[in-house]
Amino acid sequence: MSEMNTAGTQGPEAAATPHAEAMDTPCLETAGYPIAIDGPSGSGKSTVSRQVARELGLSYLDTGAMYRAAAWAAQHAGVELTDQAAVTAVVRAMKLDMPLDPDNKKISCEGEDITAAIRAPELSRVVSQVAVNLEVRAELIARQRAIIAAHPRIVVEGRDITSVVAPEAPTKILLTASEETRLARRAREVRGSAAPDALAATRAEVTERDAQDSTVASFLEDREGVVTIDSSQMSIADVVAAVRTLAQGSGKEQE
C-alpha cells in the first residue's frame, strides 16, 4: 500500500492527510522502514530515493526541498535571509504541501506552486543561509519527524536524516560519489550541461553548500549503523538494488 499522496505541514503538530492506493509491489509492513538516506549534492540520493520508493511502494520525503521552500517563503515575504529571527517566524507560519508520492514532484507553499522556483539557480545560491539557521532547522525537523511518525513506510532523504531526524531508522545509508562525479551530475541537473563553465559555476555553489551544511549536520562522518555506498562507478539501478537489499536485510533482523 502506498500510504499517502501529500503531507500538509504547518508547525510540528500538523498532521498529514493519508491517501491510500493499491500498489502491485509486495513489501514488508514496517520492518526495515523508514529508510534514511543522507548524502551531499550530486550523490544521486534524490533519484535513488524516489526509485526505491517506487519499487517498494513506499512514501517519499525530500527534506532538502523543505529547506528550499523555507528560503522561498522568506524571500516571498520580503524578509532578509540574514535576519534569522524574521526568517524563523516566516517558516513557523509557513503552509507547505509536500508530495509523498515519488511520482508527484509538485510542491506548494501558501497555495502557490513553487516546484520550479525552488530549483532555480538563484535560489540554490541562497538556500544555505536558511539551512544554517538553527531555529529553522528545529522547525523543519519537527515537521519531518511528524511525517515519519504518521507514515513510517517511507524513504526520507537529506543531509541529517541518519544522524538527527531519524537516527532510530533500521535502514540508514550514506550515499557518496567522487567530487567530479557529483559536480557533473549536479551541473546537468541544475544547468542542463556538464560543460566547463557549468561545472565551474556548480562547483562554487556545491562547495559553499557542503561547507555551510557541515557546520550543523556532520553527514559525511562515519556513524554506527550507517552503511556507505559510493555510487561513482555504479548505475542508478545498481544503487537502488543495493538499498533494497539493505532494507530487506534490516527487516529480517527485526522479525
Cell numbers of 87, please? 526568517
Long-range contacts: 77-85, Cβ < 8 Å, 24+? 81/126, 81/129, 81/130, 82/129, 84/133, 84/135, 84/136, 85/135
Q: Is 39 annotated as a binding residue?
A: yes
The dihedral built from the CA positions of residue 129, 141, 190 and 183, taken in this order, carries a sign that is positive
Residue 6 marked ligand-binding? no
What are the distances in angstroms from CA 237 to CA 23, 49, 129, 241? Answer: 20, 11, 34, 6
193 annotated to a ligand binding site:
no
Residue type, position 85, single letter: A
Q: How many CB atoms lie within 10 A of CB 224?
A: 6
Q: Is 11 annotated as a binding residue?
A: no
The Cα–Cα gap between 16 and 10 comes to 10
214 carries a ligand binding annotation: no
CB atoms within 10 A of CB 173: 28
Tell me the three cell numbers of residue 10: 504547518
Answer yes or no: is 43 a known binding residue.
Answer: yes
Q: Is 45 annotated as a binding residue?
A: yes
- Cβ proximity of 57 and 27 under 8 Å: yes
C-alpha cell, 230? 559510493
Ligand-binding annotation for 128, yes or no, is no
Residue type for position 98: M
Tell me the Ramachandran region of residue 86: left when phi exceeds 0, alpha when psi lies from -120 to 50, beta otherwise: alpha
Asked if residue 155 lies in contact with residue 52, where contact means CB atoms within 8 angstroms, the answer is yes
Q: Is 102 annotated as a binding residue?
A: no
- d(Cα 64, Cα 10) in Å, to the nearest integer? 17
* Known binding residues for ATP: 39-47
* Known binding residues: 39-47
